Amino acid sequence: MMNPFVLFLIYLYTCVFSPVTGYPNGKVTSACRSMRPDHGHTPQADPIHSINVDKTIFNPGDRIKVTLSGSRFDGFLVEARDAENLNGSAVGSFSLTDKRISQLLTCDGIQNSAVSHTSKERKLQVEFFWVAPANSPKHIQFLATVVQKYKIYWMKIPGPVISQPNAPSVPLKNPSSMITVVPPSASLHKRFSSAGCGSSKFCIRNPVSCDPEHNPECFFLSFRKHGQSVLVEMTGPGQGNISFVLSHDQWMVRLLSFLHFAGKST
């Protein structure tokens, strides 16, 4: 009979250390809705992986090739969701191109509605097909969670939006509800300055020596943290509009906010 102390050590290892391995076999159905790995760490902010598709217009029954790629990674979870309800259930079903590195999962009772890894083998790219269901929403967006290492992962990386023919545009959130605008009286009581460029704020200048505090005829754009918001300073000569665009993700489908200054801005 095995020594009781040895049995205790085995039990302790199983209860305490096993969770650290996470889900190396990719059986992550418990994370289908949240797409958050049960790792106990905060996800990374800026994705270094991307999702690509072979078409952006689809009809029910179509097969869309989906590719997840980027820096080497161990694990992943990919789902398709209603672009107008990204917190909802997975939509449609997937089929595999390589069963050695990817597998199908059943999420929210929908068979084959997600794809995940089969092992911790390092990957640079995975491919599979998504099949649009008969009752598909008008717009679909792909989401991915990618685990590079146990403590390093990105959650719900936004992929492209694909749409059915003649579908209306995806409604965007009101930009004013997501961006804090500093009242002019609080920040525009004097000319902007290039002081702090490269240290406390990021600056774009033309010419590179531009300092709007002394030369209002040059072009200047800066960003710096302002509490929980980002303070933007922009000035330059012009008869039309000076503008910039903020994108919540690289596909520019979830947030587009424009800031316009008419005429000469200082």
What Rg do the C-alpha atoms of the chain give, in angstroms?
A: 24
* Tens-place pLDDT, residues 20-51: 234 555 567 888 888 988 767 888 989 999 99
Write down the pLDDT at residue 214: 86
In this prediction, residue 37 carries a pLDDT of: 83
Pairing between strand 102-107 and 110-117? Answer: antiparallel
- pLDDT for position 181: 40
Greater confidence (69 vs 29) lies with 69
| 173, amino acid identity | K
Mean pLDDT of 9-20: 37
Residue 240, pLDDT above cutoff 90: no
Q: For residue 142, list its beta bridge partners.
A: 80
Which pLDDT value is given to residue 104?
Answer: 94
Helix and strand numbers (H, E) in the chain are 2, 14
CA-based max dimension of the chain: 90
- Predicted confidence (pLDDT) per residue in 81-103, tens digit: 999 999 999 999 999 999 999 99
Amino acid (one-letter) located at 134: A
Q: Does the structure show a pLDDT above 60 at 177?
A: no
Written as one string, the DSSP assignment of 84-123 is T-TTS-B-SEEEES-TTTEEEEEETTEEEEEEEESSS--E
157 within 8 A of 250, measured Cβ to Cβ: no
What does pTM read for this prediction?
0.56
**What percent of the chain has pLDDT above 90?**
41
**Omega of the bond prior to 207 within 30 degrees of 0, cis?**
yes
The answer to whether residue 215 scores a pLDDT higher than 80 is yes
CB 128 within 8 A of CB 78: yes
User: Stretch 228-239: mean pLDDT, rounded?
Assistant: 75
Sequence letter at residue 3: N
Task: Give CA angle at 82 (77, 88), nearest 5°.
Answer: 70
* Beta-strand relationship, 256-262 and 219-226: unpaired
36 or 189, higher pLDDT: 36
What pLDDT score was predicted for residue 252? 42
* List of domains in the chain: 23-163 (2.60.40.4060), 175-262 (no CATH)
- Cross-strand partners of 224: 231
Give dist(CA 202, CA 53) in Å, integer. 33
Q: What is the pLDDT of residue 105?
A: 94
Lowest average pLDDT, out of 55-59, 164-168, 174-178, goes to 174-178
| Choice between 84 and 18, residue whose per-residue pLDDT is larger | 84
Computed over every residue of the chain, the mean pLDDT equals 77
Which of 19-23, 41-45, 67-71, 258-262 reaches the highest mean pLDDT? 67-71
